[in-house]
Structure formats: C-alpha cells, structure tokens
Chains A and B, each alone.
Chain A
Amino acid sequence: MIALLIRDLRLALRAGGGFGLGLAFFLIVTVLVPFSVGPQPELLGRIAAGVLWLGALLACLLSLDRLLALDYEDGTLDLLVTAPLPLEAVVSIKALAHWLTTGLPLVLAAPVLAVLLNLPPQGFAPLVISLALGTPALSVIGTFGAALTVGIKRGGLLLSLLVLPLYVPTLIFGAEAARRGAMGMQHDTYLIMLAGITFATIALMPFASAAVLRMGLR
C-alpha cells in the first residue's frame, strides 16, 4: 500500500505528472475574480471565502480525470486487481495521493490568495480549517466519479457532470463555515457537519468506488 502511495506521489512530481497544475489554476481563478466583479475591497472581502472555496473545488476537479484513467490505459488497474491488495485499499490510496498532491497544496495556498481578495483577518482560520476538513471529501468523492468513468473515452466532461452535484453538500457546509467565520459569526455547527460528511465519505465511498471499478474493468 505504501508502495502504491509512493509511486503515485513520485509520478505526480515527475515531468508530465501535473503536480502544481491545480495550484496554478486556483491562483489564476482567484486573480480573475476582481477583473470580473470589480476591485472594490469591501465587495471582494465579502465574497472572498466563497470564491476561494469554489476555486479550490474546481482545482480539485481538474486532475480527477487522470486519477484512474492513466492506470486503466496502461493496464496497471488490471494487474492491481490480481495483486494481493483489496481494490477498496487501492482506491483509498489513490484518493489519498490525489489529496496530498492537489488538496493539501490548495489548503496551504488559500491564506495567501485570501490576502489578494481582502479577506477579513478573523476569516483566515475558518477558511483554512474548513478547506482542510473539506478537501479530503472532494478527493474521495472525485475518486468515485473517476471510477465511474474509467472505461469511457473522453470521459472528462462527463466526470465533471457526475461529480459536481455530489460536491454540493461539501461545498455548502464548507463555504458557509468559511463565510460565517469571515463575518465573525458562529460557524462551529458548519465545521462539525463538514467533518461529518468528510469522515462518512472516507469510510463509505471506497466501497462504492471499488464496486464500480470492478464493474467497469469487466
């Protein structure tokens, strides 16, 4: 299992692995926001938390279509099915590798980008905490979407169509926590709900992903 994680991380970091692409996308989206809504600091400060959450979510989506499709194309998935490693563990590790290479950098970059969007000072901690709690769910749910579309040629667009509705609860609780935090309001309930969704998806989604992957490989 460790070997698979290390391999995935190594592949992500090598040329063509796409590491940093999500991060760059996050940066560009954030930079484009003031161009589209105007540079007024109080407006930007009000929408900063929501914009950063949406940007992080889209950046997560960006690399999902490579998550399993590359391993499917070169036959690795077929060989992993015969390996003494349950498929549930394989998809969990894949999701973890995706989070480490995509989600975690986004969490770390968010406070820097929040400065660009004039996020109020009390909003930084809720933003980072909500992203840290929510992005693992995005990776795990995204792995399910990647497993659903693994055998489909040009499944990238379909993947977004399938995954985005599944992201709604995570986005609502995560962005709401960050938004309320930025306005200095009570936001613990939202963080707890967000954590609930994340832990539940981590516990349950790998079974759905593995089942779907077995069906798709047949």
Chain B
Amino acid sequence: MSIWQYANPVKFLALSERVQPVLWVLAAASVITGLVWGFFGTPDDYRQGSTVKIIFIHVPSAMMAINAWVMMLVTSLIWLIRRHHVSALAAKAAAPVGMVMTVIALITGALWGQPMWGTWWAWDPRLTSFLILFLFYLGYIALWAAIEDPDTAADLTSILCLVGSVFALLSRYAVNFWNQGLHQGTSVPVATGGRTVDDTFFVPLLISMAGFVLLFLALVLYRTGTEIRTRRAAALLARAERNL
C-alpha cells in the first residue's frame, strides 16, 4: 500500500469524501474557537487597544497565503515528475484559495496598519512582497483559464509555478534592498522557539492558525473533487461524441 494509490482520481475522491466531513467540523470548530477566544477572551493591548485582535485573522491568513503557494509548488513538481492528475488539479484548486488568503492578509494588514502606522498602505518589504505574491496568483490562475487542453494547461502552469517561485523569492530579497520596513518581525518564530507574543494571545492564535490550515485543506479537497468531476464529465463526453 503506497500513498501513490490515492493519485488515482477515483480512489482519491472516495478517500476525500470520507475525510471531508471531519475536516469541515474540525475546521469550523477551531476557527470559531480561535476567533471567539481571540476577540473576546483576550485583554486589549495597552498600546494598540483592541486593534491588536486583527492578529487572529491576519497572521493565519498570511501564513496560508504562503503555504498555499508552497503546496502548489510541491504538487506542480509531482505532476511534472509523476504525471498524477490529482496533483495538478489540487494545485489548480489551491490557487484561488491562496489568492483569497493573500487578499485577506493584505486587507486586515491595512486595517491594522491604519491606526498603528497612520497609513493604510506603505511600501514596506513585507507588504510589497504580498502584493507581488498576489500578482503571481493572478497570473497563475489566468494561465489555467486561458489554455483549452487540460494537460497542456497543467504542464505550462506547473512550469510557471516553478519559475514564479524563483522570481517571487528574488523579489522578496530585492524589496528588502529597496526599502527598509515598518512591519514588525514575525510573531511566531518557529525556528528559534522564542516568542514575541504573550501566552494569552499565543494560544488562541495557534488555535486560529490550526483552524485556517484545516479550512484550507477542506476547501482544497472540495475544489479538487469538483475539478476531478469536471474532467470525468469531459472524458465521458469526448468518448460519447466519438461513438456517434
């Protein structure tokens, strides 16, 4: 039994149907817990007031904006190497979700930044990088939509994802050179184990982040299922037309 058996669309669908209800419940539970706890169960910051509570949406969505692209990169590579349709379709399914996460991160960032920095938008490296990431999502989705043959579309978008990843990293590095930022350092440094946020904020933040991960997975599974069914309908139709 290898994990690759789920590369078969039919088996993947069967598994995903069984997993999805659990995922949706867990996602809803942790997003609601995280946000309710975060919004109502934590004290106002002595300096930032209640504005600080945007963190419970802003940080998870920003994290998922990047993780979604990383997931697309991995699934694109799997498609290019092993030619598993599910992988390519999962990348296609994840892109709009990732783009929405990017937009949420940008909007909540603006809402947070306005009272804190006195401006909705600044050309800070982090903000700028997210804007560029948004453009990459836009191009990726547009390319999928523009190509008629689904396999060619999967091939071309995969390569765009690879090349785009390199240029996105390069842009991230370039904007650091270009402007020093206002944005604070990361709130949840995984590597160092240290924290810049107090425990009272940290626990609901973690729950909210877990909720966003689960929500993302549920959405991607659901959307991948839709893509698989669309392809199945097209495959059946193509054969039916040949039999006429």
Q: Is there any pair of Cβ atoms, one from A and one from B, under 8 angstroms apart in the complex?
A: yes
Known contacts A165-B132, A176-B178, A190-B177; A158 and B163 CB within 8 A of each other: no
At the interface, yes or no: A218 with Cβ under 8 Å from chain B?
Answer: yes
CB of B150, distance to nearest CB on chain A (Å): 13
A165 to B170, CA, bound (A): 11
Known contacts A151-B147, A168-B132; A161 and B139 CB within 8 A of each other: yes
The reply to whether B163 and A208 form a contact with Cβ atoms under 8 Å apart is yes
Option from A162, A169, A189, A215 in Cβ contact (under 8 Å) with B139: A162
CB of B195, distance to nearest CB on chain A (Å): 33
A176 to B177, CA, bound (A): 9
CB-CB under 8 A from A193, the residues of chain B are 174, 177
Please give the number of chain B residues whose Cβ is less than 8 angstroms from any Cβ of chain A in the complex.
26
At the interface, yes or no: B156 with Cβ under 8 Å from chain A?
Answer: yes
The reply to whether A166 and B164 form a contact with Cβ atoms under 8 Å apart is yes
At the interface, yes or no: A212 with Cβ under 8 Å from chain B?
Answer: yes
What residues of chain B have their CB less than 8 Å away from a CB belonging to chain A?
Answer: 132, 135-136, 138-139, 142-143, 146-147, 152, 155-156, 159-160, 162-164, 167-168, 170-171, 173-175, 177-178
CB-CB under 8 A from B173, the residues of chain A are 169
Cross-chain pairs A/B with CB under 8 angstroms, 29 sampled: A144-B163, A149-B143, A149-B146, A151-B147, A161-B135, A161-B138, A162-B142, A162-B160, A165-B164, A165-B168, A165-B171, A166-B167, A168-B132, A168-B170, A169-B171, A169-B173, A169-B174, A172-B175, A172-B177, A176-B177, A190-B177, A205-B163, A208-B163, A211-B159, A212-B155, A212-B156, A212-B159, A215-B155, A216-B156
Known contacts A165-B132, A176-B178; A158 and B142 CB within 8 A of each other: yes
A212 to B162, CA, bound (A): 12
At the interface, yes or no: A60 with Cβ under 8 Å from chain B?
Answer: no
**Chain A residue with minimal CB distance to B134?**
A165
From residue 118 to 161 of chain A, which have CB atoms closer than 8 A to chain B? 144, 148-149, 151-152, 155, 158, 161
CB-CB under 8 A from A148, the residues of chain B are 143, 156, 159-160
| Interface magnitude class on chain A | 20 to 34
B contacts with A: majority SS: helix
CB-CB under 8 A from B146, the residues of chain A are 149, 152, 155, 158
CB-CB under 8 A from A176, the residues of chain B are 177-178
CB-CB under 8 A from B160, the residues of chain A are 148, 162
A165 to B5, CA, bound (A): 37
**Chain B residue with minimal CB distance to A196?**
B170
